[in-house]
Structure 1
Amino acid sequence: MSALAGALPGAAPVARARPGRLAALIPLAAAFAAVGLVAVTGTTQRSLDAAGLSQWAYGFFADRYPLFFPAIAYGVARAAALPLAAPHWRGWLGASLGLALVTGLSLHPTYGGLVLRAGFSVGGVAFLSGQPMAVAQGLGAVAAASVLGGALGFAALLARGLPRRGGWGRALVRALLRFAALAWALGVLAAARDLGLSGFPRLALSGGQAALALGLVLAAFLPHVILDLVRPRASVESTPGRR
């Protein structure tokens, strides 16, 4: 079978493409699983406090942005899946660094980390300077995406290396599209409280709120996932070249 697969045109590229497509779906599944786990276990601030996690259960950002935790799960899973697309020592190194950066920037010193603090600071300053609320929220999402996306992008660059010669333009366009999709995702999740999750995490998610949270997660991250699923043909079928 292996000899036949090697003789068929395109068989090897298709096989190489599967890990990349699988890696694109894992982060979305992790974000869904995070919401499902919180809903099934009835997680609240009190239960987190009882588990010794009060540092990440209370505070302004926990109350104002209750649906940021699926973004943490998405980022952690995306970093952890790097060895699937880059199965060598650089992939594992990028994954390790990505995990450290995503968790540190999202949870230190408390829930939200530098990601939410950057977004709130930029959005707040923009609003106080007279910008409309929608513009201020958009700028805040861009700032938050700069921090989280920077961590993920640096880890991916370390794992996969620089683009091939002549591929810098395409790589830059795809990076900008991914950044825009991540900013969209964080903007959608930031609106969760206003869209019906105002009681969480003081109270457990109800069935309706859990369904709403899953829908928001899907709407938030689907564009980012699609960008990974729709890969340029040349990036899959071409052989590694000199950089």
Structure 2
Amino acid sequence: MRPATVAVPAAPLAAALLALAAVAATGFDQRSALPPAAERVFYGFFLDRYPLFAFALVYALARILAVAAGPGPAGPVRRILGALVGLALVLTLGLYPTFGGMVLRSGFATGGIAFLNQAPMWLAYALGAAAAAASYGAALGLGVLLTNRDPRPRSGWGRALAAGAGRLALGFGALWFALAVLGLARDAGIGPWPRRALTIPEFGISAVLLVLAFLPHSVVVTGLSHTRTSNPLIEPPRSR
């Protein structure tokens, strides 16, 4: 397995953990000075209820940038334009009109409606996490596809569609699990951040939750990248 095959999938989780470490080290919290426009976007119900989603956004942004910088068929112009579109999609779906965007709002609404229709709490929560993962995964996946993936099938449309459906199911399942784990942050004991700064134990709990949440997706992406680059039907060897 080539180093780039591991480095590209590992970079997003590393970026999310570094962002968390920076927040803890600087004591950043709601009392920190921010421009009024940024305060209106970030501070509110969804950041208070789902604080670790902030680092899920870092994960998605870093994933798109890592793919843009990694090996692949795209030229420089497509990488730059695709990355810009992908970053805009993630930020729009994650932050518009305020923190959480369509991602958390769709999850909260889906879970709430299911619970009001007498679904068990665990099922309502799972459905909400699935809805959030669908929005989050759509922005992330489309960003990656536009940035540095070859849309042309190399082994016929039938096999390509079947393989694509399998990759989509694996990726969605991993992100579903990730957002479900991150939604339990308050119950896991990360404290009231961002209403006050993270303590060392709360930083440790948050880091463990981020690793637990996104490690499956990193592993899935690593496996799929290795399959893509080692399968001659998908990535045939170049002539010398």
The TM-score with structure 1 as length reference comes to 0.86
Where does residue 133 of structure 2 map in the other structure? 145
1:223 aligns with 2:235: no
1:65 aligns with 2:54: no
Where does residue 8 of structure 1 map in the other structure? none
Distance 1:120 1:18, change over 3 A: same
Relative to structure 2, which stretch is displaced further, 119-128 or 147-156? 147-156
Separation (CA, whole Å) in 2 of partners of 1:38 and 1:122:
31
RMSD: 1.9
Q: Specify the SS of the correspondent of 1:85.
A: coil
* Pairing partner for 1:93 from 46, 68, 81: 81
The TM-score with structure 2 as length reference comes to 0.87
Separation (CA, whole Å) in 2 of partners of 1:195 and 1:48:
28
Q: Structure 1 residue 50: deviation in Å?
A: 6.5
Q: Structure 1 residue 35: deviation in Å?
A: 0.8
Separation (CA, whole Å) in 2 of partners of 1:148 and 1:234:
24
Relative to structure 2, which stretch is displaced further, 151-160 or 85-94? 85-94
Residue-by-residue CA offset, 1:165-194 (whole Å, 9 max, x unaligned): 233312211211110100110110011011
Where does residue 55 of structure 1 map in the other structure? 40
Distance 1:216 1:42, change over 3 A: same
Separation (CA, whole Å) in 1 of partners of 2:102 and 2:115:
20
Residue-by-residue CA offset, 1:53-106 (whole Å, 9 max, x unaligned): 312342110111111111000000011122213352333332111111001111
Amino-acid identity (%) = 42
CA contact (8 A) 1:80 1:96 kept: no
* Pairing partner for 1:134 from 116, 122, 128: 122
CA contact (8 A) 1:188 1:220 kept: yes
Amino acid at match of 2:44: G
1:31 aligns with 2:31: no
Relative to structure 2, which stretch is displaced further, 68-77 or 151-160? 151-160
Where does residue 112 of structure 1 map in the other structure? 100
Amino acid at match of 1:36: A
Separation (CA, whole Å) in 1 of partners of 2:28 and 2:36:
11
Residue-by-residue CA offset, 1:127-175 (whole Å, 9 max, x unaligned): 1111111111111111111111001111222231324323331221121
Relative to structure 2, which stretch is displaced further, 207-216 or 61-70? 61-70
Residue-by-residue CA offset, 1:31-54 (whole Å, 9 max, x unaligned): 101111111111111115477631
Question: Which portions of structure 1, spanning 4 or more consecutive aligned residues, are displaced by more than 6 angstroms?
Answer: none
1:161 aligns with 2:150: yes
Q: Structure 1 residue 22: deviation in Å?
A: 1.4
* Pairing partner for 2:194 from 192, 201, 205: 201
